[in-house]
A and B are shown apart, each in its own frame.
Chain A
């Protein structure tokens, strides 16, 4: 908020009557142009060509001129756009869109509205596009919700406890394989396997947690990255148990409290007197992931207001002070790892039952990176931020599938752009977990990022 109200004021004061500001900008632009020309004289100004008898240099003076002119005008534009001669690029863009404060303030109304939309959404799509037309949109929504759930799960570890985890996909994989193996070998139903898969993933979370307790920051990130890879490599090579690269197929689909989504007698459509349609299963899967995601949401929202959640945030702010207040940092970190992993495991079970087929291909490092990017882009610790980031990220990614390789470029650029515009994520404000008189959001600049 302070950004938007104060940032334009000084630039207006300085720019209007002050020739000094203009001259500073021009001088900086000239300096930048000279540096660009110096660099370009080597990098762009000369080219080696193959000539008879060896190599020859071809001089291209115009390239140097063009580079210098482009840099000069670019720097000039930045100087007049930004409040302080283009150094503060973030400030220049902060007026272009609602600030994080406006977003989090609107959160009180936005969240119930989003929930209503999430519940009635598939029926709206059905009535608009019909059964077959709506299918791709509902499947996209399922995918987005899966990532939202994973984002909320990882948010406990990264956003609240401040422990950078680059191997989160490992727990997603553990959950998926736990469900698939239990269902295939023991014939257990989805509803029995779901909590078990969550527990197994939580156990693996604790197993990862123990060796990394002493590590902080970059070192922690590297070890979690390695952990994620170990899980994937084991899944890939333990052929007898996991099927290796072939994966596991014919994983049982979930049933509606025992009623299968199948054609014919005793199927879902038959029991409820509907005409059979494959969309029923898709809608059921949608509501399944929606309720799992909401479970994650409500549990993590409540955990934040409990002593354990406050201890996680305190750990992120200052670990040494936590120890001086009688907080056992070992168990506090382990519970964060375990709970984050548990939600990852739930999401993994859902993924396995939705796909019916899993292989190590689905659990590569890029998945961890995408989930982490969603959490960071949304704003560490912000629940609504994860929703916005996942929708933009996954939704946008699928939406622009026709653009082939360009979409990667566009997404890379837009991520850079968002991080410049809002370095602490889309919603960086922190809501206090308890208040005496009035709940006031805390500016993201004050909130620690965690060092371990």
Chain B
């Protein structure tokens, strides 16, 4: 299968803010049609790394490469943020939800299809004149929006303002909005934050559906270990800006580095843990 090749390759990524090194020489891969989770304690540099991948920060060093299915390659650190979504096919959501609150749910999904509709409206003039090609594109855009509304169970709320939705509904809408841009890689910043167990179970179903039926790879930051362990194919662990572990769920769960970072350990235990990790790390290298 094509699952062997990587859609996103991050190499030696470094991001400094003044004297603080938020992301320090991090390298990892996101494989096609995988759900890859980035975890780590607060302040580990997850969101900074995320902002580098989606173009909101320009990294100080390193390379972020995207290989699209049709063979086109992009170096994200060189692209302005809007072209990362438009051309490299990378869409994102935000940790603190950023919907267009005063616009309806449907309008939010229409804004996400801006690039397609803008091309169809031929510099807005074709749209002003109401050319049939534009009307067709608009009808298709509404259809696509309706499809995603169906998938996130928000069809009855389509014409309500996005700000009136409940927290969980807003999170789902943000994911649907990102999917309406037609991405190949979907980056989710804490999608399960503030959700109850039932809602996060529904979220897992939605994310699996996106991966399996839309062939969209997912990179997500998450604190909810239930969600992470349940759906991730691959986990990357950051701590103090460095990558401390990288592997599948079972590997990461038992990695003494990860346990140390999350639970804290005595001084002498670290050496012991490192010795263990070296052998464990070697196993992981050969396994992948």
Contact = CB atoms under 8 A, between A and B. Distances in A.
Contacts of B158: 435-437
A434 interface: yes
Contacts of B177: 325
A310 B114 contact: yes
A443 B110 contact: no
Contacts of A435: 104, 106, 158-159
Question: Interface size for chain B: under 10, 10 to 19, 20 to 34, or 35 or more residues?
Answer: 35 or more
A235 to B, nearest CB: 32
A51 B250 CA distance: 95
A328 B98 contact: no
A299 B104 CA distance: 22
A436 B110 CA distance: 11
B128 to A, nearest CB: 6
A326 B179 CA distance: 12
Contact of B114 (A311, A335, A443, A447): A311
A442 B104 contact: yes
Interface string A300-327: 0011001110110110111011111111
Contacts of B121: 306-308
A166 B99 CA distance: 28
A329 interface: yes
A324 B183 CA distance: 11
Contacts of B155: 436
B104 A306 contact: no
Contact of A432 (B82, B85, B94, B106): B106
Interface in B24-73: 54-56
A358 B86 CA distance: 47
A448 B161 CA distance: 12
A310 B107 contact: yes
A439 B158 CA distance: 10
A214 to B, nearest CB: 14
Contacts of B56: 320, 323-324
A446 B118 contact: no
Chain A, interface size category, equals: 35 or more
A306 B113 CA distance: 12
A433 B82 contact: no
B128 A306 contact: yes
A161 to B, nearest CB: 13
Interface of B: 54-56, 81-83, 85-86, 91-92, 94, 98-104, 106-107, 110-115, 117-118, 121, 124, 127-128, 142, 145-146, 149, 155, 158-161, 163-164, 177-178, 181
17 contacts: A307-B118, A308-B118, A324-B56, A324-B81, A324-B91, A324-B92, A324-B178, A325-B85, A325-B91, A325-B112, A326-B115, A327-B111, A328-B82, A432-B159, A436-B149, A440-B104, A447-B102
